[in-house]
A = this chain, B = another copy of it.
Amino acid sequence: MSKKQPLIPAFDEKVDLRDYDPDYTGKFSSEDEAEHDRKRDLEKLHKLQETFYAEQKHSLLIIFQATDTGGKDGAIEHVFRGVNPAGVVVTSFKKPSEEELAHDYLWRVHPHTPRRGMISVFNRSHYEDVLVVRVHDLVPKKVWKKRFDQINDFERMLYENGTTILKFYLHISKGEQKRRLESRRDDPEKQWKFNVGDLEERKYWDQYQEAYEDVLTKCNFEHAPWHIVPANNKWYRDYVIAKTIGDTIDAMDCKYPKPTEDIASIVIPD
């Protein structure tokens, strides 16, 4: 593995996930060493979100994808607890309902995109329709093949209408998934998360990796970049995500809105 690895693949790169080390921890060699930066960047994010929310000018869509046990729930919990809950909406896309399946696959997604001033967090997303759908042949190949372009069109439309998009793929190794499944099996506080179906899915590990490589190759643009987050170490995963979101909001240079009229001289009556 290389000593340094990009967070975002080059936009013309054919992604091979074996080039990305899920154990990578950047400049840190331990959790303790990263603690100071992680805390600082989380606090920075929480502070920046206040002006972002007040300004109501930008909207931010953050998509999380990963294989089972990849850490989507944990990352969302750790990064966004501390943010004003009035400014964040988390949507978990589960197995589609009969009603949702009777529509195109973007139908259930679109209503959850963020309004101005808001952060929408997707726990899974429309990408499942080229991932689980592909691996399990839920629709014919000629149908899902067209979806890469459709998703790119959809995300570009959102971007062109004022939505900033960040996409995080949480990259863990097959060995780490094994350890996490064992932990869910054995820890009474985690057993409720143990899903026997995850063992079935684990058999398709290689097919999922391949499907993800297509997603990361075909749907990666400057206006909607994929971040391949080394996620074997939860602390590094959370640090990278918090820093990335913080830097993104920072670049928006949000300001508290100015009063529309001269309010300084207004007297508040008793």
CB-defined contacts of A80 to chain B, threshold 8 Å = 85
Given A256-B192, A257-B192, A266-B85 contact (CB < 8 Å): no
**Once the chains bind, are B256 and A189 in contact (CB under 8 Å)?**
yes
Bound together, the chains give a CA A133 to CA B181 distance in angstroms of 55
Bound together, the chains give a CA A7 to CA B124 distance in angstroms of 42
Bound together, the chains give a CA A258 to CA B76 distance in angstroms of 24
**Once the chains bind, are A82 and B84 in contact (CB under 8 Å)?**
no
Interface residues of A in 17-76 (CB under 8 A from B): 46, 54, 73, 76
CB-defined contacts of A191 to chain B, threshold 8 Å = 256-259, 263
Interface size class of chain A, counting residues whose CB lies under 8 Å from the partner chain? 35 or more
Closest chain B residue to A123, Cβ basis: B86
Given A192-B54, A259-B192, A263-B196, A268-B86 contact (CB < 8 Å): no
Select the stretch in A87-95, A140-148, A208-216 that faces chain B.
A87-95
Using an 8 Å CB-CB cutoff, how does the interface string of A173-203 with B read, 1 for contact, 0 for none?
0110010011001101101101010010010
Give the contacting residue for A264; candidates B84, B178, B185; CB below 8 A.
B185
Closest chain B residue to A84, Cβ basis: B77
CB-defined contacts of A81 to chain B, threshold 8 Å = 46, 81-85
**CB of A264 to closest CB in B, whole Å:** 7
Give the contacting residue for A182; candidates B121, B259, B268; CB below 8 A.
B268
- Residue A96 is within 8 A (CB to CB) of chain B in the complex: no
- Residue A98 is within 8 A (CB to CB) of chain B in the complex: no
- Residue A253 is within 8 A (CB to CB) of chain B in the complex: no
**Once the chains bind, are B82 and A86 in contact (CB under 8 Å)?**
no
CB-defined contacts of A186 to chain B, threshold 8 Å = 264
**CB of A185 to closest CB in B, whole Å:** 5
Bound together, the chains give a CA A115 to CA B46 distance in angstroms of 27
